[in-house]
Amino acid sequence: MAEAYQMCIQCVMDTSDPHIIFDENGVCNHCHEFEEITSKRWFPNEVGQKLLESIIEQIKKDGQGKEYDCIIGLSGGVDSSYLALKIKDYGLRPLVIHVDAGWNSELAVWNIEQIVKYCGYELHTRVIDWQEIKDLQVAYLKSGVANQDVVQDHAFFASLYHYTTKNKIKYVISGGNIATESVFPESWHHSAMDAINLRAIHKKFGQCKLKDYETISFFQYYFYYPFVKKMKTIRPLNYMNYDKVHALQELKAVVGYKEYGRKHGESRFTKFFQNHYLPTKFNIDKRRAHLSSEILSGLITRDQALIELEKPLYDAIELKEDFAYIAKKLGISIENLMEVTQSTGHSYQEYKNWDHLQKLAKHIQRVVEKITNKNVKIYS
């Protein structure tokens, strides 16, 4: 299996992304996209500070007389935790929610509690029925698709958006950021927002009915939320010089935040999925995308990234423990879990999905733009 991989000379993305394109100098499309598109939405400077100040003012203004002026979902990770602290500094009044889809480590919950206590927020926790999550997760494993985190991610966004509309909130504050997430090969991951795909996979491989597990439809995601409810996602970390290392230091100093280390992470399933399932089944090492993002935003050098990539993805003993833990929790045998991890992967396109609707939406968008002579933003 000694296949020759070509790696970008500027970042660390390589041909494990089947859609990667190199220019004549060996620089990849992700690097070009960062220069041409992504960096135009990233302001790690005084300009960003000014822009952010005016956005905050608008949020406060629109929220006058309401119980909350924005919403934030806390996972316990560094990005959203740091953002929760910043929001307090800005004087915003967020509805803070946490979605428990069964895999959160105790430490993540502990960290969330510290932040909420320090900021004086009231935490709303949405616990999703574990039997349904379990059934859906096993269905996803049987389907063999790449993105096994859809089950947790879709649950998170569905809960977040439903809370948002229920409480008549306009602004969703997101920890998403260009500094650490700009490189994201589409071929590695199908969107977690595709509920048609989720339902098709569950229909084929699931056992129970999904009653408690909420989904977001294509119509809600692309039309109802952005145009009817006028919901807006704000990513404040793109308007500051966001550096995860410093953010972590601040969190530790201010609220006593505890680092996850590599043992369990925030979610033990996500760790298993990223560090074992994806590399074994699809030859995807997600660290490449994260590290490439950090190189492009100037947080690390390419040499530092290469050293990081040399480190093993899993400790052998930890992997054995995690196999046992996950299999037991999902009610399947270890052999079964090994089988679904090692067998040939499947594309999400083998199951019904939203691709045709997306094509149609893009077509309508172009027509509307032509008629009105205005740019119509597609929600993302």
Residues forming the site for Zn ion (CB under 5 A):
8, 10-11, 28, 30-31
The CB-of-142 to Zn ion minimum distance in angstroms stands at 35
Residue nearer to Zn ion on the CB measure, 106 or 186 = 186
Q: Nearer Cβ to Zn ion, position 31 or 96?
A: 31
In the complex, minimum distance from the CB of residue 279 to Zn ion, in angstroms, rounded to a whole number: 20
Those residues whose C-beta lies under 8 Å from the C-beta of residue 315, and which sit 6 or more positions away, are: none
Nearest residue to Zn ion, scored by beta-carbon proximity: 8
180-209 in b/e form (b: 16+ CB < 10 A) is bbbbebeebbbbbbbbbbbbbbbeebbeee
State in angstroms the smallest separation of the CB of 295 from Zn ion: 8
Round to whole Å and give the CA distance between 314 and 134. 24
Q: What's the closest the beta carbon of residue 182 comes to Zn ion, in angstroms?
A: 11
| Nearest distance in Å: CB 27, Zn ion | 6
Residue among 122, 132, 191 at smallest CA distance from 157: 191
**Closer Cβ to Zn ion, 8 or 97, answer by number:** 8
What's the gap between Cα 151 and its chain centre? 12
Write the DSSP assignment of 359-377 as a string of letters. Answer: HHHHHHHHHHHHHH-S--P
- Nearest-CA neighbor of 108 among 134, 73, 141? 73
Q: Of the two residues 28 and 128, which places its CB atom closer to Zn ion in the complex?
A: 28
Closest CB to Zn ion among 287 and 352?
Answer: 287
- Cβ of residue 4: shortest distance to Zn ion, in angstroms? 17
Closest to Zn ion by CB, 29 vs 353, is 29
Cβ-proximal residues to 35 (8 Å cutoff; 6+ apart), any chain: none
Element (DSSP H or E) covering residue 94: strand 94-100
Tokens of 138: 């096993």
Structure tokens at 300: 């690390």
Closest approach of Cβ 307 to Zn ion, in Å? Answer: 18
Q: Are 180 and 294 in contact (CB under 8 A)?
A: yes
Give the single-character DSSP code of 312: -
Is the Cβ of residue 49 or residue 304 nearer to Zn ion in the bound state?
Answer: 304
In this structure, the chain runs to a length of 380
Number of Cβ within 10 Å of residue 18's Cβ equals: 9
CB of 14 to Zn ion, least distance (A): 9
Q: Which is nearer to Zn ion, 31 or 251 (CB)?
A: 31
